Structure 1
């Protein structure tokens, strides 16, 4: 038995914020997360988004869950995450 596909509902303000983030944010990983959320809201499945962005489907699911719990602030990389320079 498969899980129910998760889709987010964005209001106009959230869509504008994510579109601006996808175009103008200085961090590429932030822009990628914004694009993924906009695609999900448009009805694209998590697996299709993952394939399109070349990431794991669990990663896309995590981005969606983060958006639902923390909003736009949650999309920023937290201190201590990622590879050390």
Structure 2
């Protein structure tokens, strides 16, 4: 069995990651920060994947992104992620449909 690769973090990097984990702008970013913190504590990728309910390759990808770009590498890059199922032009139609539904429910 291969030894577990432990990430060595400076105190400054650890503080940035902890801040990112507790106050990061998105859930995804916070989870990525947590994965790097766990890796620095000596946890294996499979252990981290199980704890965070992600796949092992995902953990390896996050570690690689962190090693290459620091905490900035953990941010969601433009064009990543699931695309919206609606665009902003549909917003008014949705609001109108919700309002009509509320009115029909209140009359019933």
Structure 1: stretches of 5+ with no match in the other structure: none
How far is 1:26 from its partner? 1.9
SS in 1 for 2:76: coil
The answer to whether residue 37 in structure 2 is matched with residue 35 in structure 1 is no
Q: Which has the higher helix share?
A: 2
Q: Aligned partners of 1:34 and 1:40: how far apart in 2?
A: 10
The alignment's TM-score, normalised by the length of structure 2, stands at 0.74
Structure 2: stretches of 5+ with no match in the other structure: 85-108
Q: What pairs with 1:1-85 in structure 2 (closer than 5 Å)?
A: 4-85=3-84
How far is 1:4 from its partner? 4.9
The alignment's TM-score, normalised by the length of structure 1, stands at 0.92
SS in 2 for 1:82: coil
> What are the superposed Cα offsets for residues 33-65 of structure 1, whole Å, 9 maximum, x if unpaired?
000000110111110000000100010001001
Q: Aligned partners of 2:60 and 2:3: how far apart in 1?
A: 12
How far is 1:7 from its partner? 2.1
Larger radius of gyration: 2
